[in-house]
Structure 1
Amino acid sequence: MDDSSDSGAVVRVSARYFDGRSTRPHKVQVWLAQGQLQIDGETVRTQVPAAQVQWPERTRHGPRVARLPDGASLQSLDADAWDAWRRDTGHVDGWVVALQQSWRAVAASVLALVLLLAAGYVWGLPWLAREVAQRVPDGLEDQVGEAVLAQLDDMVKPSRLSADEQRAIEAAWAEVLQRHQKAQAAQGRAVRPTQLLIRESEIGPNALALPGGTILLTDDMVRLVQNDTRVLSGVLAHELGHVQHRHGLQTLVQIGVLGAATSLVWGDFSGLLATVPLWLGQAHYSRQAEREADAHSVGVLRDAGISPQVMVTLLDRFALYRRCGDALLKPAAAGEAEKPQGARQCAGQAGKGTGKDDKADAAWGLGFASHPADAERIAFFNAAAR
């Protein structure tokens, strides 16, 4: 603070002096003279070099404060008088204080903070999760996958498909995977190891790639595509794309970061790990991740000599399922004529709304949430099949 009082009338202001040892205030007068802050009252008379006084930034409301080097302080409840005294003695607020006093500047700062947080969530967090996931050792990822699978016990049960049905699916996928691995090896590329588990579950027609390479395929998915092993190979090729790109681990990293941030804000880490299966079940891969998995599935199918058109068949079956519901999943005895009445009534509508219903809601559970619109995916797979 400049000591302009050296060349003119001394400007004084009333304040309360606290010695830093008790809460008792002392009424004083303060002024600046010859580089010294003078403090004078009935019980206090002292001076402090002005350069050693700390002047906290001025706020719109509340008392004004000056902190002295010995732990003492000065306070003034008359903010206007204090501010006028400081101005008269040559003090000028910095630009930070000026911005703090402007509601427009505060509003702009809040908006900028919101945009920064949004950008971090949309772009920064996925980038961080991807970088972290790619650097996690395979052994650690396997352990994470085993832990997640163990916690999913309540969501999955042993398959109710016949042993022959399961063997047919496993054999078809093993052949596809073998051809894909051979083609990739010829190009010097490695395919991450996977394990296929077929399970009964209440999550409906679905498939899920866990960290570490475990792929869960539900009985309802098999029923949805009427045991078509070529279509199921397309489903599994899509999930292999998630495994290859480590999308499951990326999702867990993102969930973990968000969960940890929330726990830091609210001060409660309890249940953070216990709810991982629930989070994994409700978390949706980004549309970019789904596009990567779709593109990967095309490569896998081509390596195996299967047309990517099977994925269009899959999407048509999902469109039909959105109209028919669980009636479509009931096993037929011997052909179309013996299908449940509800499935027969809406079967003729297949394809009429494909691509128009872009609801990637909880009905698709773990594996098919947040996919790009059906129309976009169908166009992609049709183009890939040419």
Structure 2
Amino acid sequence: MTEPGLAADYFDGRSARPRRVRLQLRAGRLLILDDTPSSASAVVIDQGTPLRSAALDEVRWPERTRHGARIAHLAGGGELHALASADWDAFVAGAGLREGFVVRSQQSWRAVLAVSVLLLALVAAGWRWGVPLLADATLAVLPASVDAQVGEIALQQVEARWLAPSKLPPAQQAALRSAFDQAVRSAAAEEQPAPYRLEFRAADIGPNAFALPGGTIVMTDELVQLVEGDEAALVGVLAHEYGHVRGRHGMRQLVQATLLGAAGSLAFGDFSGLLAAAPALLGTLGYSRQLEREADGEAITLLRAAGRDPAAMVGFFERLARWRAARGETADDSVLGIAFSSHPADAERIERFRAAARQ
């Protein structure tokens, strides 16, 4: 008795019209038999000539899935479509063809869950350790001249948008420069201090200070006015920004954002710019909080070296909080610098400076 075989649609690669066929397996070959009502070979295989015959290893067998048709590709062109997926899977299994490990794993929710957890762990590890290590390696070979060029471009852009010439008296600017320079030299001791350039500017961004790659530190007139010229507090703020300069934090953030953006583009493709930018944004904010804590540590070191009480920074943050409250603002509303939304919470920073003052 002739084997019934499996019903399928055959596309020969030359015509878009399918042909109804019946598939059978014999002697390691796939036979494609005409299964139209007028074909005798649909009833008795031995009386018909196969439309096509192919060795099993010349067929690109489809992976088993829960839904959808099965489509097999034939060497040299042509396809076989089978809508009865369960019958197709039984037919293939009867031929002795075995599924690979990946295909079997895809059918197991336990395996999919395990792979998903592993993938998330790898992504988290890359974000937590891989990107910072790669950024360190990049910074190690990146010359300081690049920092300076990036910093100059950034300063020009910030000045064009937010900054104006300072209105502080030259004598007050000179006194603050001298006090800060003395603190830097005291903290550096025998080491060579990191080069920096202190600039004073009037601004629409309120009380602020920020450091740019290359060593430029900008302090706004409004910040000096906020603390009523309190030299210890201003030295503390500048020392915090000097910590960014010394650690090349600006370039580090730029490198990390670039790496995360590149990874996002690879993962999501250029067609999804928003998704590709999200990892860079979130990653940069996270790293910024870490770097801010490092910069606060530098501020404590410089204040102590200069013989100044770290508690001066507590007063600064309290004044800043009152200024925000009077304007109905929060830390997240600030544009740049010391009150960046990526900074640790003010309460955390105040407690750290208080603890440093008690020691």
> Normalised by the shorter chain, which TM-score bucket?
0.7 to 0.9
Task: Evaluate the alpha carbon distance shift between residue 376 and residue 19 of structure 1 in structure 2; reply closer, same or farther with a 3 A threshold.
Answer: same
Shift of 1:367: 2.4
Are 1:242 and 1:289, in contact at CA under 8 Å, matched by a contact in 2? yes
Q: Give the Cα separation in 2 of the matches to 1:204 and 1:253.
A: 28
Calculate the TM-score normalised by the size of structure 1: 0.75
Q: Which residue does 2:20 correspond to in 1? A: 27
Give the paired residue count.
Answer: 335
Shift of 1:103: 5.0
After superposition, residues 256-335 of structure 1 pair within 5 angstroms as 256-261=258-263, 265=268, 267=270, 286-325=288-327
Q: Deviations over 1:258-291 (max 9, x none)?
A: 4445556463799xxxx9xxx8xx9575332112
Q: Which residue does 1:372 correspond to in 2? A: 344
Task: Report SS of the residue matched to 1:66.
Answer: strand
Calculate the TM-score normalised by the size of structure 2: 0.80
Q: Deviations over 1:173-213 (max 9, x none)?
A: 233233334x0xx2xx3322111111112222111111111
Are 1:284 and 1:366, in contact at CA under 8 Å, matched by a contact in 2? no
Q: Which residue does 1:350 correspond to in 2? A: none
Aligned partner of 2:336: which letter? G
After superposition, residues 50-69 of structure 1 pair within 5 angstroms as 50-69=56-75
Q: Which residue does 1:72 correspond to in 2? A: 78
Are 1:312 and 1:381, in contact at CA under 8 Å, matched by a contact in 2? yes
Q: Which residue does 2:44 correspond to in 1? A: none
Q: Give the Cα separation in 1 of the matches to 2:18 and 2:50.
A: 11
Task: Report SS of the residue matched to 2:205.
Answer: coil
Could you tell me which runs of 5 or more consecutive residues in structure 1 were left unpaired when the two chains were aligned: 1-7, 327-358
Are 2:198 and 2:217, in contact at CA under 8 Å, matched by a contact in 1? yes
Q: Give the Cα separation in 1 of the matches to 2:100 and 2:262.
A: 37
Are 1:205 and 1:218, in contact at CA under 8 Å, matched by a contact in 2? yes
Q: Which residue does 1:217 correspond to in 2? A: 219
Shift of 1:238: 0.7
Aligned partner of 1:313: which letter? G
Aligned partner of 1:154: which letter? R
Q: Give the Cα separation in 2 of the matches to 1:231 and 1:364.
A: 21
Q: Give the Cα separation in 1 of the matches to 2:213 and 2:194.
A: 11
Shift of 1:139: 0.9
Task: Evaluate the alpha carbon distance shift between residue 138 and residue 319 of structure 1 in structure 2; reply closer, same or farther with a 3 A threshold.
Answer: same
Q: Give the Cα separation in 2 of the matches to 1:362 and 1:130.
A: 31
Residue among 156, 160, 168 paired with 1:150: 156
Task: Report SS of the residue matched to 1:58.
Answer: coil
Higher mean Cα deviation, 45-54 or 374-383?
374-383
Residue among 226, 233, 236 paired with 2:228: 226
Task: Report SS of the residue matched to 1:361.
Answer: helix
Q: Give the Cα separation in 2 of the matches to 1:27 and 1:19.
A: 11
Residue among 3, 13, 17 paired with 2:10: 17
Q: Which residue does 2:91 correspond to in 1? A: 85
